[in-house]
Amino acid sequence: MKVAVVDSGVSVDFLRQHGGPLAGAASFTLDRAARRLESRVHSREELDAWRGGSAVLDDLEDTHGHGTAVLSLLMDAGPCPPNVEWYVARVLDERMRGDSLCLLEALEWLTNDVRPDLINLSLGTVDRAFEAPLTELLWRAVRQGAVVVCAAGPVPCLPAGLGAVVTVADAKTARLLGRTDTVDHVEHAPTVRLYASGTWCERPMTSSYACALAVARVLREGCPPDWRRQAPAAHAR
């Protein structure tokens, strides 16, 4: 089973001490001045060398901590199926911010080269400029058999609420959204145990972490039948 996390990368220290090897990883950045989108896709051998300490991959290093926290929730939530392969796409920077174009490019990479079974998207945007291509890419992933789980934001945003994704929120975010957005699943626990700043700790539950917990549950207990999306005819090519 292939599990992909699109976020702020991963701390190599976490991978060395607590996580497993990565099967694939890539980073996506937008150079606005040059108006160019840059992609760096790393091989399994390069990733093993990074984890082993004989190579440096700065473009993947999580300088914020959000992606590492999400990955720690996925890896620490209990015994995983033995055949899990982990993939990381870095699209958020040290301020946990990024560009929708990078999310689109990450989904292009995942659907063309990886074809994951599970995708964790603990992020979102209120800009709807790329709603059409984002929708198309997410349905492509679904047609390939993926379950795409996305965190809801405090206000309606994308890709949360799109038909192709399972939208997850913590209890507070779900209350804020009320009836203004679709939420498929709510995590009610007030806190969560995760890896942050070099140690395991309890943190308040957020929509991001609720999303990761939902993905972890799918990984270990199987996918609820109503979380398997069916692409509408227009997208079912």
For other proteins, the binding residues (CB under 8 A) are 7-8, 30, 32, 35-43, 46, 64, 66-67, 69, 91-93, 96-103, 122-127, 129-130, 151-155, 157, 173, 176, 178, 180, 206-209, 211
Dist. CA 35–CA 67, nearest whole Å? 26
Q: Which two tokens stand for residue 168?
A: 């997850």
CB of 44 to other proteins, least distance (A): 12
CB of 225 to other proteins, least distance (A): 26
- Between 79 and 178, name the residue whose CB sits nearer to other proteins: 178
- Between 39 and 182, name the residue whose CB sits nearer to other proteins: 39
CB of 206 to other proteins, least distance (A): 5
If you ran DSSP here, which 8-state letter would residue 8 be given? S
Query: DSSP string of 47-87?
Result: HHHHHHTS---TTTB-SSSHHHHHHHHHHHSSPPPTT-EEE
CB of 189 to other proteins, least distance (A): 15
In sequence order, the 6+-apart residues with CB closer than 8 A to the CB of 111 are: 137, 140, 141, 144
- Between 142 and 207, name the residue whose CB sits nearer to other proteins: 207
- Please count the other Cβ atoms lying within 10 Å of the Cβ belonging to residue 175: 10
- Between 85 and 108, name the residue whose CB sits nearer to other proteins: 108
